[in-house]
Amino acid sequence: MFELTEDQQEIRDLARNFAREQILPGATERDRSHEFPTDIVKQLGEMGFLGMFVPTEYGGTGLDVMSYVLALEEICYADAGVGVIMSVQNSLAIYPILAFGNEEQKHKYLPAMASGEKIGCYALTEPMTGSDAGAQKTRVRADGDDYVLDGTKMWITNGPQADVCVAYANLEVESKHKGVCAFIIDTATEGFSVSKVEEKMGIRCSATAELVFENLRVPGENRLLGEREGFKVAMATLDGGRIGIAAQALGIAQRCLDLSVEYAKERVAFGKPIANLQAIQWKIADMRTRIEAARLLTWRAAQLKDAGKRASAECSMAKLMASEVANFCAYEAVQIHGGYGYSAEYEVERLYRDARITTLYEGTSEIQRLVIAKDTLR
């Protein structure tokens, strides 16, 4: 059984009210304009939603993973593009510094990131090595007390706006994951550039970019953990990222269900609301049941993370289930809306596009199944 504490309920309600009053009204226009939601991100920082895991001593709110999941679902209910900005900031950019950084690194970077003064990104994926995280072709070499990086990263969320980049590079490409190092990079450093901003199907207010490191000099003090320990940082970070995407998918799915229920009650066909038709009722029932199942898996993963327990398989199960449920619900929402669902004038068309990415990033559904199977068979 899951019983939310009063604090968790307050965080959920705060996020819900902000999302529905401030984020949802502009979601369609942001989807059309692709404009980064600068003002909303600033407000998220002021409310403490960009540094939810960060202890108060480093400028954050020091909340648990469950609170984060609850808040993120509500933000994504309104706009999954805004939600993924929040997710990357918390799960992918801040978490590795918080979990693996030394005190100097934490005090230097976390306060500004937790407040939203500085935006973070996470540079792991490379051309042709998306799911093979150990096959880093970005090279790094030691040069005195510094390191020099050369390479290209792809599909980097928050890339164009990022002030801080957690990035990975390989001392020896032939060593694969055994040669990977992790670094904190200040993006204003010479040799760091954004070479391309992607045109995407969905989550359009969230910018996704290709990054280039060209003779990029990083101080040795900015390395996370020791040399060749970067893969450990990457894998631990992805667990939290997958919980974030599960929460994002839940928000999309719940919005699809709510819009479908509303439309089914209003749309009249054959002399009565289509909500009276068994064909529609079964779709609604399937949507609600799958959402509840995905939510319980996501909450279970969050509960294990909060207890400090190993949860890689549970995070993958949550992400797998929730992302596929989001796509299922988006499909059914369009079907329930009929021809209107195919029109950009109706919100479910955007939700259909937004849902598609959830089975791809932070590890495809196929990768999640590999993680789950490996854990089951070990």
The residues annotated with a catalytic role in the active site are 362
**Alpha carbon 357 to chain centroid, angstroms:** 10
Q: Which residues contact residue 205 at a Cβ distance below 8 angstroms, ignoring those fewer than 6 apart?
A: 30, 31, 33, 34, 35, 36, 37, 79, 81, 82
Tokens for 55?
């202890």
Distance CA 19, CA 77 (A): 8
Scanning the structure block, which residue is given the tokens 């993370």? 305
* N residues, the chain: 378
Helices 65-78 and 6-18 sit at what angle, rounded to 10 degrees? 20
Residue 55 identity: P
| 217 in Cβ contact with 146 (< 8 Å) | yes
Helices 65-78 and 80-87 sit at what angle, rounded to 10 degrees? 150
Distance CA 331, CA 348 (A): 9
Look at residue 177 and give its three-state secondary structure: helix
Strand 208-219 to 223-224 pairing:
unpaired
